[in-house]
Amino acid sequence: MIRHPAVAGYFYKGSPETLKQQVQEFILPDAAKTKALGILAPHAGLVYSGPVAGAVYSNIELQDTFVLIGPNHTGLGERVSIMTKGSWETPLGTCEIEESLANSILSKSSVIREDSLAHLREHSLEVQLPFIQYFKENSKIVPIQMLDTRFDTCLTLGRAVAEAVEEHDRKSKIDRGTLIVASSDMSHYERASDAKEKDLKAINQILRLDPQGLYNTVKEYGITMCGYGPAIAMLTACKILGATKAVLVKYANSGDVSGDYNQVVGYAGVVIS
Protein backbone atom coordinates (compact mmCIF):
# COMPACT_ATOMS: atom_id res chain seq x y z
CA MET A 1 0.00 0.00 0.00
CA ILE A 2 0.94 3.64 -0.38
CA ARG A 3 0.80 5.49 2.92
CA HIS A 4 -0.26 9.02 1.99
CA PRO A 5 0.72 12.03 4.14
CA ALA A 6 -1.51 12.60 7.17
CA VAL A 7 -0.13 15.96 8.35
CA ALA A 8 1.21 17.69 5.21
CA GLY A 9 0.14 21.32 5.21
CA TYR A 10 -0.35 21.12 8.97
CA PHE A 11 2.80 19.93 10.70
CA TYR A 12 4.91 21.01 7.73
CA LYS A 13 4.51 22.83 4.43
CA GLY A 14 2.30 21.11 1.89
CA SER A 15 4.04 21.66 -1.45
CA PRO A 16 7.43 20.36 -2.64
CA GLU A 17 8.90 23.83 -3.10
CA THR A 18 7.76 25.31 0.22
CA LEU A 19 8.62 22.15 2.18
CA LYS A 20 12.14 21.96 0.77
CA GLN A 21 12.63 25.62 1.64
CA GLN A 22 11.26 25.05 5.14
CA VAL A 23 13.60 22.13 5.81
CA GLN A 24 16.54 24.03 4.36
CA GLU A 25 16.03 26.80 6.92
CA PHE A 26 16.82 24.30 9.71
CA ILE A 27 19.86 22.64 8.12
CA LEU A 28 23.36 23.47 9.42
CA PRO A 29 25.58 23.17 6.33
CA ASP A 30 28.86 23.40 8.24
CA ALA A 31 28.04 20.81 10.92
CA ALA A 32 30.55 18.00 11.45
CA LYS A 33 29.16 14.63 10.37
CA THR A 34 29.12 11.61 12.69
CA LYS A 35 28.63 8.05 11.45
CA ALA A 36 25.82 7.29 13.86
CA LEU A 37 24.03 4.13 14.89
CA GLY A 38 20.95 5.96 16.13
CA ILE A 39 19.42 9.31 16.91
CA LEU A 40 16.70 10.84 19.05
CA ALA A 41 14.74 13.45 17.06
CA PRO A 42 11.55 15.43 17.83
CA HIS A 43 8.29 15.23 15.89
CA ALA A 44 6.27 18.38 16.53
CA GLY A 45 5.26 20.84 13.83
CA LEU A 46 8.43 21.91 12.05
CA VAL A 47 7.96 25.55 13.01
CA TYR A 48 8.54 24.48 16.62
CA SER A 49 10.78 21.40 16.55
CA GLY A 50 12.44 22.00 13.18
CA PRO A 51 15.55 23.72 14.60
CA VAL A 52 16.32 20.70 16.80
CA ALA A 53 15.46 18.11 14.15
CA GLY A 54 17.48 20.01 11.57
CA ALA A 55 20.48 20.19 13.89
CA VAL A 56 20.50 16.47 14.65
CA TYR A 57 20.08 15.43 11.00
CA SER A 58 22.78 17.91 9.97
CA ASN A 59 25.23 16.31 12.39
CA ILE A 60 25.08 12.76 11.01
CA GLU A 61 26.04 10.87 7.89
CA LEU A 62 22.70 9.82 6.48
CA GLN A 63 22.53 6.11 5.65
CA ASP A 64 20.51 4.37 2.94
CA THR A 65 18.08 2.67 5.32
CA PHE A 66 16.25 4.04 8.36
CA VAL A 67 14.43 2.09 11.05
CA LEU A 68 11.91 4.61 12.37
CA ILE A 69 10.43 3.95 15.82
CA GLY A 70 7.77 6.29 17.13
CA PRO A 71 5.06 6.52 19.77
CA ASN A 72 1.49 5.71 18.80
CA HIS A 73 -0.54 8.80 19.74
CA THR A 74 -3.76 7.67 18.05
CA GLY A 75 -4.31 4.43 19.98
CA LEU A 76 -5.07 2.56 16.76
CA GLY A 77 -3.58 -0.75 15.77
CA GLU A 78 -1.39 -3.35 17.45
CA ARG A 79 0.83 -3.08 20.54
CA VAL A 80 3.89 -2.79 18.30
CA SER A 81 3.02 -2.19 14.65
CA ILE A 82 5.33 -2.62 11.70
CA MET A 83 4.70 -2.15 7.98
CA THR A 84 6.72 -4.60 5.88
CA LYS A 85 5.75 -3.53 2.37
CA GLY A 86 4.61 -0.51 0.42
CA SER A 87 5.79 3.08 0.50
CA TRP A 88 5.32 6.39 2.34
CA GLU A 89 4.72 9.67 0.55
CA THR A 90 5.42 13.29 1.44
CA PRO A 91 5.42 16.32 -0.85
CA LEU A 92 9.16 15.66 -1.37
CA GLY A 93 8.60 12.21 -2.83
CA THR A 94 8.31 8.56 -1.86
CA CYS A 95 10.22 6.37 0.59
CA GLU A 96 9.98 2.67 -0.16
CA ILE A 97 9.82 0.24 2.75
CA GLU A 98 12.89 -2.00 3.02
CA GLU A 99 10.95 -5.26 2.90
CA SER A 100 13.70 -7.73 3.76
CA LEU A 101 14.77 -5.81 6.87
CA ALA A 102 11.17 -5.18 7.95
CA ASN A 103 10.28 -8.86 7.61
CA SER A 104 13.41 -9.83 9.50
CA ILE A 105 12.48 -7.56 12.41
CA LEU A 106 8.93 -8.92 12.36
CA SER A 107 10.18 -12.51 12.50
CA LYS A 108 12.28 -11.99 15.60
CA SER A 109 9.54 -11.28 18.17
CA SER A 110 5.89 -12.19 18.57
CA VAL A 111 5.23 -8.81 20.20
CA ILE A 112 5.72 -7.13 16.80
CA ARG A 113 2.77 -7.38 14.41
CA GLU A 114 2.21 -6.53 10.78
CA ASP A 115 -0.25 -3.62 10.89
CA SER A 116 -0.93 -0.53 8.79
CA LEU A 117 -3.80 0.93 10.84
CA ALA A 118 -1.47 2.33 13.52
CA HIS A 119 0.42 4.30 10.84
CA LEU A 120 -2.40 5.88 8.85
CA ARG A 121 -3.03 8.99 11.00
CA GLU A 122 0.09 8.98 13.17
CA HIS A 123 2.50 11.89 12.73
CA SER A 124 5.57 10.87 14.76
CA LEU A 125 7.34 9.08 11.91
CA GLU A 126 5.97 11.13 9.04
CA VAL A 127 7.63 14.35 10.23
CA GLN A 128 11.05 12.64 10.12
CA LEU A 129 10.73 11.99 6.40
CA PRO A 130 11.22 15.53 5.03
CA PHE A 131 14.65 15.70 6.70
CA ILE A 132 15.60 12.24 5.46
CA GLN A 133 14.38 12.99 1.95
CA TYR A 134 16.19 16.33 1.89
CA PHE A 135 19.51 14.53 2.31
CA LYS A 136 18.70 11.10 0.79
CA GLU A 137 16.24 11.02 -2.10
CA ASN A 138 16.29 7.23 -2.56
CA SER A 139 16.35 6.16 1.07
CA LYS A 140 14.34 3.21 2.37
CA ILE A 141 12.53 2.97 5.69
CA VAL A 142 11.12 0.49 8.18
CA PRO A 143 8.24 2.16 10.11
CA ILE A 144 7.44 0.92 13.63
CA GLN A 145 4.84 2.41 16.01
CA MET A 146 4.75 1.59 19.73
CA LEU A 147 1.51 1.58 21.70
CA ASP A 148 2.91 -0.76 24.34
CA THR A 149 5.84 0.92 26.12
CA ARG A 150 6.38 -1.50 28.97
CA PHE A 151 10.08 -1.95 29.63
CA ASP A 152 10.15 -5.59 28.56
CA THR A 153 8.44 -4.69 25.29
CA CYS A 154 10.98 -1.93 24.64
CA LEU A 155 13.86 -4.34 25.26
CA THR A 156 12.31 -7.01 23.07
CA LEU A 157 11.84 -4.60 20.18
CA GLY A 158 15.35 -3.19 20.57
CA ARG A 159 16.89 -6.65 20.51
CA ALA A 160 14.87 -7.65 17.44
CA VAL A 161 15.92 -4.48 15.60
CA ALA A 162 19.59 -4.95 16.51
CA GLU A 163 19.68 -8.57 15.36
CA ALA A 164 17.90 -7.80 12.11
CA VAL A 165 20.01 -4.71 11.36
CA GLU A 166 23.23 -6.63 12.02
CA GLU A 167 22.15 -9.37 9.62
CA HIS A 168 20.96 -6.88 7.01
CA ASP A 169 24.15 -4.83 7.03
CA ARG A 170 26.30 -7.97 6.96
CA LYS A 171 24.44 -9.34 3.95
CA SER A 172 24.68 -5.95 2.26
CA LYS A 173 28.40 -5.80 3.14
CA ILE A 174 27.86 -2.32 4.61
CA ASP A 175 29.42 -1.05 7.82
CA ARG A 176 26.66 0.77 9.70
CA GLY A 177 24.35 1.01 6.71
CA THR A 178 21.21 1.45 8.79
CA LEU A 179 20.27 4.31 11.11
CA ILE A 180 17.79 3.75 13.96
CA VAL A 181 15.63 6.82 14.62
CA ALA A 182 13.68 7.22 17.87
CA SER A 183 11.01 9.87 17.42
CA SER A 184 10.10 11.72 20.62
CA ASP A 185 9.26 15.08 22.08
CA MET A 186 10.20 15.75 25.69
CA SER A 187 8.09 17.29 28.50
CA HIS A 188 4.64 18.55 27.51
CA TYR A 189 2.83 21.69 28.69
CA GLU A 190 4.94 22.69 31.68
CA ARG A 191 6.78 25.87 32.57
CA ALA A 192 10.01 26.05 30.60
CA SER A 193 12.20 25.90 33.70
CA ASP A 194 10.37 22.85 35.06
CA ALA A 195 10.39 21.13 31.68
CA LYS A 196 14.12 21.66 31.25
CA GLU A 197 14.88 20.34 34.73
CA LYS A 198 12.91 17.16 34.09
CA ASP A 199 14.08 16.74 30.51
CA LEU A 200 17.74 16.94 31.47
CA LYS A 201 17.21 14.07 33.90
CA ALA A 202 15.95 11.92 31.04
CA ILE A 203 18.56 13.20 28.59
CA ASN A 204 21.34 12.36 31.03
CA GLN A 205 20.20 8.74 31.06
CA ILE A 206 20.27 8.68 27.26
CA LEU A 207 23.77 10.16 27.30
CA ARG A 208 24.77 7.37 29.68
CA LEU A 209 23.34 4.84 27.19
CA ASP A 210 21.18 3.49 30.00
CA PRO A 211 17.77 2.14 28.85
CA GLN A 212 16.77 1.01 32.34
CA GLY A 213 17.86 4.34 33.80
CA LEU A 214 15.77 6.23 31.24
CA TYR A 215 12.69 4.13 32.00
CA ASN A 216 13.10 4.51 35.76
CA THR A 217 13.70 8.27 35.50
CA VAL A 218 10.65 8.88 33.31
CA LYS A 219 8.46 6.95 35.73
CA GLU A 220 9.96 8.37 38.94
CA TYR A 221 9.72 12.03 37.93
CA GLY A 222 6.55 11.82 35.83
CA ILE A 223 8.30 13.08 32.70
CA THR A 224 5.82 13.42 29.86
CA MET A 225 8.29 12.29 27.20
CA CYS A 226 5.94 10.74 24.65
CA GLY A 227 8.56 8.61 22.91
CA TYR A 228 10.45 7.17 25.85
CA GLY A 229 9.53 3.68 24.62
CA PRO A 230 11.06 4.22 21.17
CA ALA A 231 14.09 5.85 22.82
CA ILE A 232 14.61 2.80 25.06
CA ALA A 233 14.25 0.45 22.09
CA MET A 234 16.70 2.54 20.06
CA LEU A 235 19.24 2.67 22.92
CA THR A 236 18.94 -1.08 23.44
CA ALA A 237 19.56 -1.78 19.76
CA CYS A 238 22.45 0.66 19.50
CA LYS A 239 24.21 -0.79 22.54
CA ILE A 240 23.97 -4.30 21.07
CA LEU A 241 25.39 -2.93 17.82
CA GLY A 242 28.38 -1.46 19.66
CA ALA A 243 27.44 2.08 20.64
CA THR A 244 29.85 3.73 23.08
CA LYS A 245 28.92 7.42 22.92
CA ALA A 246 25.91 9.74 22.96
CA VAL A 247 25.99 13.49 22.33
CA LEU A 248 23.27 16.08 22.93
CA VAL A 249 23.25 18.17 19.76
CA LYS A 250 20.51 20.63 20.73
CA TYR A 251 17.79 21.20 23.31
CA ALA A 252 14.98 23.74 22.91
CA ASN A 253 11.29 24.23 23.63
CA SER A 254 8.22 25.62 21.89
CA GLY A 255 8.47 28.87 23.84
CA ASP A 256 11.57 29.77 21.84
CA VAL A 257 9.20 30.22 18.89
CA SER A 258 5.87 31.16 20.48
CA GLY A 259 7.25 33.35 23.27
CA ASP A 260 5.02 31.52 25.77
CA TYR A 261 7.26 29.90 28.38
CA ASN A 262 4.42 29.01 30.76
CA GLN A 263 3.36 25.89 28.86
CA VAL A 264 6.04 24.51 26.61
CA VAL A 265 6.93 21.28 24.84
CA GLY A 266 10.60 20.31 25.03
CA TYR A 267 12.67 19.01 22.12
CA ALA A 268 16.01 17.17 22.23
CA GLY A 269 18.32 15.97 19.48
CA VAL A 270 20.81 13.25 20.45
CA VAL A 271 23.31 11.33 18.31
CA ILE A 272 24.36 7.79 19.32
CA SER A 273 27.59 6.37 17.87
Residue 189 has pLDDT above 70, yes or no: yes
175 — pLDDT class (breaks 50, 70, 90): low
Backbone angles phi, psi at 143, to 5 degrees: -90, 130
Q: What is the pLDDT of residue 13?
A: 98
Neighbouring residues of 197: CB distance < 8 A, sequence distance ≥ 6 = none
**Longest pairwise C-alpha distance within the chain:** 51
Residue 174 has pLDDT above 80, yes or no: no
pLDDT digits (tens, 9 = 90+) for 21-41: 999 999 999 999 999 999 999
Q: Give the C-alpha separation, 102 to 114, whole Å.
A: 9
Q: What is the pLDDT of residue 137?
A: 84
Q: Give the C-alpha separation, 255 to 259, whole Å.
A: 5
Domain total of the chain: 1
Q: Specify whether the CB–CB gap between 68 and 142 falls below 8 A.
A: yes
Q: What is the pLDDT of residue 169?
A: 81
Q: Is 61 left (phi over 0), alpha (psi -120 to 50) or beta?
A: beta
Q: Which one, of 112, 36, 33, 109, lies nearest residue 69 by Cα?
A: 112
How many degrees, rounded to 5, is the angle at CA 80 between CA 184 and CA 152?
A: 85
Percent with pLDDT over 90 in the chain: 95
List the CATH number of the domain containing 250.
3.40.830.10
Q: Give the C-alpha separation, 171 to 56, whole Å.
A: 28
Q: What is the pLDDT of residue 138?
A: 87
Q: Which one, of 197, 201, 219, 46, lies nearest residue 134 by Cα?
A: 46
Q: Which one, of 186, 205, 207, 204, lies nearest residue 255 by Cα?
A: 186
The Cβ of residue 237 has, within 10 Å, a number of other Cβ atoms equal to 30
List residues bridging with 80 in a β-sheet. Answer: 112, 146
Q: What is the pLDDT of residue 192?
A: 98
AA identity, residue 23:
V
State which residues form the domain around 29: 2-272
Q: Specify whether the CB–CB gap between 163 and 241 falls below 8 A.
A: no
Q: What is the pLDDT of residue 173?
A: 66
Tell me the average pLDDT across 128-157: 96
Residue 74 has pLDDT above 70, yes or no: yes
Q: Specify whether the CB–CB gap between 266 and 196 falls below 8 A.
A: yes
AA identity, residue 257:
V
Q: What is the pLDDT of residue 234?
A: 98
pTM > 0.95: yes or no: yes
pLDDT digits (tens, 9 = 90+) for 207-255: 999 999 999 999 999 999 999 999 999 999 999 999 999 999 999 999 9
Residue 172 has pLDDT above 80, yes or no: no
Mean pLDDT of the chain: 96
